[in-house]
Structure 1
Amino acid sequence: MEQELEQAQAIYKLITEFFITYSFQIVGAIIVLAIGIFVASKISNLVIKLCEKKNIDVTLSRFIASTVKIIIIVMVAIIALGKLGISVTPFVAVIGAMSLGAGLAMQGLLSNYGAGLNIILARPFVVGDTIRVQGVAGQVKEVHLAYTLLTDEDNVEIIIPNRHIVGEILQNSHNDTLAEEIIGIAYSSDTNKAIAVIQASLAKIDNISQERAPLVGIDDFADSSINIGIRFWAPTNCYFETKYQANAEIFDALKKANITIPFPQREVRLLKEE
């Protein structure tokens, strides 16, 4: 019992001496770290505001601000460790060894981060663009270092790891998506009139892009009809709504103009044997 008391007293004495000796260093390190984190947050916010004034992409702005904040916090942490009299050299060696092991274990994750950095710097697309890659398409909602988040008109979110974007064939149609339609009219109908009616119908739809004007023309000569091809650009966030509205408007306009939309026909002849 006496031995245990002596051990407890020795531990208490050791802890007391430690706090008496290093209390000011500990308090100083905590103050330095707190001030550093506060300053890093302020500088990060200033960087974002500066990037907004320079009209820099929001994704790139956030990346630059986050990088600046991390660098400042790391520098302040090194200063705080110095206040405690702790040498950072062994930590650097340990971090290097851990980084090597982590790099081998997380090659896929690191490749995503590398690809994300490439996307942020090269900017093949930005938030709000409509992209198609790896067989999926959607409007870019967020770009992170590890992945890119897409969304569609139904608010379905699609997460694509960045390594599946960089180095692949990428289609970027910016804010809009191309709609392609084919309408068959009878061979006896006036094609010029039909094309004019369709163009007038598309002009009534507000959401259809006028920067890239709709295209209407003869697409094919089918068995039972002349096929009129229609191509127009609609905002990705209301693509189907615009497409269905255009189809209804075109159908009603053709009907009022007495332009026939024929159904498939086939002529069959029966031959009698003599």
Structure 2
Amino acid sequence: MDTELINKELEEVSQFYNIVIEFFTNYSFQIIGALIIFTIGIFASKFIQKIVLKVLLKNNIDETLSGFIASFVRFLVVMMVAILALGKLGISIAPFIAAIGALSLTAGLALQGSVANFAAGIILVITKPFKIGDTLTVHEVYGEVEAIKLSYSVLRNEDGEEITIPNKYMIGDVLVNSFSYRVVEGSVGIAYDSDATKAISAIKDMLIKHENISSENEAIVGIEKFNDSSIDVAYRYWVPTKSFFKTQYDVNLQILDVLNKTNITIPFPQREIKILGETDVPK
């Protein structure tokens, strides 16, 4: 009984051995060829990655984006080599391609928001519509650009608040870049019997002398409109983003002082009221 069992096991081992020998006899060259192709591909992908990274950095492409592109190129090369190696073994790659396509579609639908931010970040890095230090107004917020990431950008306002904005808003929304300054707009009403030319000159001289107001962009002062009780004198000037409100409040106080010193009147709203007597009432 034991002899029969041993003979049966030996027969099974012999069959397995013959199958292995037959497999290597028939497919040894394919296996060796596939291993050679894959090995060469791995080394080639590293070499190509270094070349791509060097070329991108040489052309002043952002370091983060350059590293990502170079790594992605290497991944594509490895995938192509793997497909070639599988083909060399005689394995059909159509099911793998179909599965990868299905997974890519599912991932794309699930992460479409993140993908949109990431794609927008790449566009920002390539086109460079703004740089670190510029002042942006976007999506109803403003601030100085502190960092530009692949999926989001970071702004910081005068209060020191850090504002994180997804990059899709940087591409798909109206973007105002005032660089390192912001414009301040204001107006003050003066009486009709005051000297408007004198008021405009006094306000402009004060703006020119103010230490926080930009000298590169000339301040503009002039008559904006004529109201019922006053003439509106408007002014526009540029200030550093980090001292926007502080400078604005200080300038408003100085404008008031200047107008008082030059005897320019800021009138109160006036209305004429006529009281009709009995003789004036129409019959």
What is the DSSP-based 3-state SS (H/G/I as helix, E as strand, rest coil) of the residue aligned with 2:206?
helix
User: Structure 1 residue 218 and structure 2 residue 223: aligned?
Assistant: yes
What is the DSSP-based 3-state SS (H/G/I as helix, E as strand, rest coil) of the residue aligned with 2:273?
coil
Distance 1:272 1:169 in 2: 60
Cα displacement (A) at 1:227: 0.7
User: Structure 1 residue 177 and structure 2 residue 182: aligned?
Assistant: yes
Distance 1:65 1:121 in 2: 10
User: Structure 1 residue 156 and structure 2 residue 156: aligned?
Assistant: no
Mapped contact 1:138–1:150 kept (Cα < 8 A): yes
Distance 1:175 1:226 in 2: 33
What's 1:144 paired with?
A: 149
Write the deviation string for residues 79-102 of structure 1: whole angstroms up to 9, x where unpaired.
xxx9xxxx8999x96876644432
Distance 2:192 2:243 in 1: 34
Q: How does 1:76-87 map to 2 (within 5 A)?
A: none
Distance 1:168 1:72 in 2: 31
User: Structure 1 residue 243 and structure 2 residue 248: aligned?
Assistant: yes
User: Structure 1 residue 260 and structure 2 residue 261: aligned?
Assistant: no
Mapped contact 1:132–1:171 kept (Cα < 8 A): yes
Identity of aligned residues (%): 40
Mapped contact 1:205–1:242 kept (Cα < 8 A): no
User: Structure 1 residue 62 and structure 2 residue 63: aligned?
Assistant: yes
- Give the aligned residue type for 1:163: K
Write the deviation string for residues 224-270 of structure 1: whole angstroms up to 9, x where unpaired.
11110000111111101111121122111111111111121212111
Bigger-Rg structure (1/2): 2
Distance 2:197 2:179 in 1: 32
Q: How does 1:1-274 map to 2 (within 5 A)?
A: 61-67=62-68, 70=71, 98-274=103-279
Mapped contact 2:65–2:122 kept (Cα < 8 A): no
- Give the aligned residue type for 1:154: D
Cα displacement (A) at 1:64: 4.0
RMSD: 3.3
Pick closer, same or farther for the CA change 1:202–1:142 going to 2, 3 Å: same
Cα displacement (A) at 1:44: 8.1
Cα displacement (A) at 1:129: 1.6
Distance 2:127 2:187 in 1: 38
Pick closer, same or farther for the CA change 1:132–1:263 going to 2, 3 Å: same
TM-score between the two structures when normalised by the length of structure 2 = 0.67
What's 1:7 paired with?
A: none
What 5-or-longer segments of structure 2 have no aligned partner?
Answer: 1-45, 88-92
Distance 2:86 2:207 in 1: 68
Write the deviation string for residues 20-70 of structure 1: whole angstroms up to 9, x where unpaired.
xxxxxxxxxxxxxxxx9xxx8xx989x87x78xxxx5xxx53334533674
- Give the aligned residue type for 1:245: D
What is the DSSP-based 3-state SS (H/G/I as helix, E as strand, rest coil) of the residue aligned with 2:259?
helix
What 5-or-longer segments of structure 1 have no aligned partner?
Answer: 1-35
Pick closer, same or farther for the CA change 1:264–1:88 going to 2, 3 Å: farther
Write the deviation string for residues 185-215 of structure 1: whole angstroms up to 9, x where unpaired.
1111111111111011111212211111000
- Give the aligned residue type for 1:203: I
- Give the aligned residue type for 1:184: G
Distance 1:262 1:149 in 2: 45
Mapped contact 1:205–1:245 kept (Cα < 8 A): no
What is the DSSP-based 3-state SS (H/G/I as helix, E as strand, rest coil) of the residue aligned with 1:165?
helix
What is the DSSP-based 3-state SS (H/G/I as helix, E as strand, rest coil) of the residue aligned with 1:255?
helix
What is the DSSP-based 3-state SS (H/G/I as helix, E as strand, rest coil) of the residue aligned with 1:125?
coil
- Give the aligned residue type for 1:66: G
Cα displacement (A) at 1:165: 2.5
